[in-house]
Amino acid sequence: MKKGTVEAGAAVTSQYTLSLPLIGDINATEIGAIKREVELADMPDRTRQSTGNEKPIDTTIKTLIHHTEEMLAMEALYLATRTGTAGYKVEGTTLSLNGADEVKVRGYLLLGFIIHGMEIPDLKAGDQGSPVEVTWSVSLDGVEPLS
């Protein structure tokens, strides 16, 4: 492979699809890192052992505020979390990592998808007019690969 080139069929960071049940694909401009980690227990002899449990995962998703349908859907999920309404914890959310040719390379099931925060960025008069991105704080119970 030539340095600085992307191998054919490789997943690239700019090609992904986030899909929520009953909502569909979300046009996320950015998805934060998703770090899977097993809990370890400290033993009396100062060693560590696996508990067999994965830690919950916190990440962020950014969307554009002018995408009205997505904003309404994400705000409804946030409101459901805030009020404890049934359905606030979304099961069946998927993340597909795609190649430069937009062909799916790898997929993941995001377990227990909960939107628990929303941040509208600082706004500044006289700015050249960058699109406003809303940052959503998301908690996941876990991540499982899809075949």
CATH number of the domain that residue 115 is part of: 2.30.110.20
The count of domains in the chain is 1
Domain span including residue 119: 11-146
Tell me if 88 is assigned to some domain: yes
Global confidence as pTM: 0.84
pLDDT tens digits along 25-76: 999 999 999 999 999 999 999 999 999 999 999 999 999 999 999 999 999 9
Count of all residues that appear for the chain in the document: 147
61 closest CA partner among 82, 33, 102: 33
pLDDT band at 12 (very low <50, low <70, confident <90, very high): low
Distance of CA 76 to the CA centre of its chain: 17
Joined together, the tokens standing for residue 51 give 């508990």
Q: What is the pLDDT of residue 22?
A: 85
What is the residue-averaged pLDDT of the chain?
A: 89
Distance between CA 58 and CA 41 in Å, rounded? Answer: 21
Tell me if 35 is assigned to some domain: yes
Residue with tokens 């099931």: 109
Residue 6 has pLDDT above 70, yes or no: no
